[in-house]
């Protein structure tokens, strides 16, 4: 057996594990089937000098000091705080819904009445699920809940997940902020690495005990016995060659365009819940405040994951899929030297800080 430890995947999960192991004196081989490091967080400068996120916008945010301290060892971050606009009835308004959104979308008389009722019933700056408005014996608040559900979540979710069967219990949990904070995240620490995510991961993997091999597919169960230990961030069903069936995912397609103008839209991300086939448009120069006479945007189109044709993005966490994942997890217990982690290994959506925290705790 090789004395090396193998880490499969060079994204945030794999790179964090590799770095922690190397600092403990272990020899680590990092293997990735892609031709680049950083996984879905991969970014690069385009011909316009704009740092483009090739797999959609990535904003680092966390309230965990230990995670923030760790990632800042490998990159400086700016103080960018993310806001998301949605085109609702032809008007751009910030989401999640807050008191400012209400004033932007509704006539003054109705907006004043809604704001007054919300502040009477709920604490200022509280986040209230729209299901709570349905419980109120008030026609205006029930109208607000229905409006938000129909205009913001229903059609967007249909496009995102490719189904008309949208679980109202899920969308009902999405909160309305009884305040005017328009930031998408409320975490203490937020920002974009000034040199880009690829540079951050490159710095994380830059250690004398770490060797990186790209364009190399790991053969899963058949190859794992060659190593002292394996930290696997790929899809757990692929590790077992899909012997119990394939875990479903949603994927994304990005259509990049350059415009001969300083800016294309008013915000870094604008969602289109009820219009067009795409879900949102990203404009990347906002993130690092980069200067260029041109701008680069990307249309985001959700689509089914097809093995060999596109990439896995979002686990589809239904009861049946969770049961299948647990069967794979039971099968994994036979491989004592293999640990599964990350969005694909755990079949669970992680924000970047959650992926880092999971990796740190595992090592």
Q: Which of 148, 177, 206 is the last residue of a domain?
A: 177
Say yes or no: 329 and 235 in one domain.
Answer: yes
Pairwise CA distance, residues 53 & 56, whole Å: 5
Pairwise CA distance, residues 353 & 13, whole Å: 10
Residue 124: phi and psi, rounded to 5, are -65, 140
Say yes or no: 97 and 219 in one domain.
Answer: no
Say yes or no: 204 and 342 in one domain.
Answer: yes
Say yes or no: 198 and 140 in one domain.
Answer: no
pLDDT of 174 reads 73
pLDDT tens for 165-196 read 656 555 556 789 999 999 999 999 999 999 99
Round the average pLDDT of the chain to a whole number and report it. 94
Residue 295 is assigned to a structural domain of this protein: no
Pairwise CA distance, residues 95 & 105, whole Å: 12
pLDDT tens for 73-103 read 999 999 999 999 999 999 999 999 999 999 9
- DSSP track, 145-196: HHHHIIIIIIHHHHHHHT-S---HHHHHTSEEESS----S---SEEE-BTT-
pLDDT of 215 reads 97
Say yes or no: 199 and 173 in one domain.
Answer: no
Residue 266 is assigned to a structural domain of this protein: no
* pLDDT tier for residue 358 given thresholds of 50, 70 and 90: very high
Say yes or no: 354 and 229 in one domain.
Answer: yes
pLDDT of 173 reads 63
Say yes or no: 209 and 329 in one domain.
Answer: yes
pLDDT of 135 reads 87
Residue 345 is assigned to a structural domain of this protein: yes
Say yes or no: 17 and 113 in one domain.
Answer: no
Residue 249 is assigned to a structural domain of this protein: no
pLDDT tens for 278-287 read 999 999 999 9
State the average pLDDT over residues 291-317. 96
- DSSP track, 295-319: EEEEEEEEEE--TTTS---EE---H
Say yes or no: 94 and 141 in one domain.
Answer: yes
pLDDT tens for 106-165 read 999 999 999 999 999 999 999 998 888 888 899 999 999 999 989 998 899 999 998 866
State the average pLDDT over residues 339-352. 96
Residue 208 is assigned to a structural domain of this protein: yes
Number of domains in the chain: 2
pLDDT of 249 reads 96
Say yes or no: 144 and 219 in one domain.
Answer: no
Residue 307 is assigned to a structural domain of this protein: no
Strands 43-45 and 28-31: unpaired
pLDDT tens for 22-69 read 999 999 999 999 999 999 999 999 999 999 999 999 999 999 999 999
**What CATH number is associated with residue 239?**
3.40.50.720
Strands 227-232 and 2-8: parallel
pLDDT of 92 reads 97
Residue 48 is assigned to a structural domain of this protein: no
Say yes or no: 95 and 219 in one domain.
Answer: no
pLDDT of 171 reads 59
The domain of 338 spans 2-43+70-76+194-244+315-362
Please indicate whether residue 313 or residue 222 has the higher confidence score (pLDDT): 313
Residue 159 is assigned to a structural domain of this protein: yes
Say yes or no: 30 and 162 in one domain.
Answer: no
């Amino acid at each position: 057996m090789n004395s090396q430890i193998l880490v499969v995947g060079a994204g945030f999960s794999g790179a964090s594990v590799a770095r922690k192991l190397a600092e403990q004196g272990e020899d680590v081989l990092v293997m990735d089937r892609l031709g680049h490091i950083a996984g879905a967080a991969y970014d690069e400068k385009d011909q316009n000098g704009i740092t483009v996120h090739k797999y959609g916008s990535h904003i680092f945010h966390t309230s965990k000091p230990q995670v923030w301290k760790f990632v800042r060892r490998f990159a400086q971050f700016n103080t960018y705080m993310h806001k998301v606009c949605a085109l609702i009835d032809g008007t751009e308004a910030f989401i999640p819904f807050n008191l400012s959104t209400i004033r932007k979308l509704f006539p003054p008389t109705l907006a004043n009445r809604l704001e007054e009722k919300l502040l009477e019933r709920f604490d200022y700056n509280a986040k209230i699920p729209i299901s709570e408005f349905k419980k109120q014996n008030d026609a205006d608040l029930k109208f607000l809940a229905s409006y938000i559900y129909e205009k913001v979540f229903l059609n967007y979710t249909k496009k995102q997940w490719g189904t008309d069967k949208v679980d109202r219990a899920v969308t009902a949990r999405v909160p309305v902020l009884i305040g005017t904070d328009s930031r998408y995240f409320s975490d203490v620490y937020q920002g974009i690495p000034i040199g880009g995510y690829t540079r951050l991961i490159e710095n994380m993997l830059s250690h004398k005990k770490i060797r990186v091999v790209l364009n190399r597919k790991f053969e899963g169960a058949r190859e794992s016995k060659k190593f002292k230990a394996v930290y696997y961030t790929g899809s757990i069903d692929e590790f077992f060659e899909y012997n119990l069936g394939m875990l479903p995912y949603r994927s994304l397609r990005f259509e990049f365009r350059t415009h001969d103008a300083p800016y294309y839209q008013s915000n870094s991300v604008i969602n289109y819940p009820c219009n067009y086939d795409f879900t949102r448009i990203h404009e990347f120069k906002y993130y690092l405040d980069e200067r260029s006479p041109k701008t680069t945007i990307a249309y985001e189109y959700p689509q089914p994951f097809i093995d060999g044709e596109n990439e896995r993005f979002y686990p589809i966490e239904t009861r049946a899929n969770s049961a299948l994942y647990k069967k794979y997890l039971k099968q994994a217990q036979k491989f004592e030297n293999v640990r599964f982690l990350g969005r694909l290994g755990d079949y669970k959506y992680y924000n970047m800080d959650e992926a880092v925290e999971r990796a740190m705790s595992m090592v």
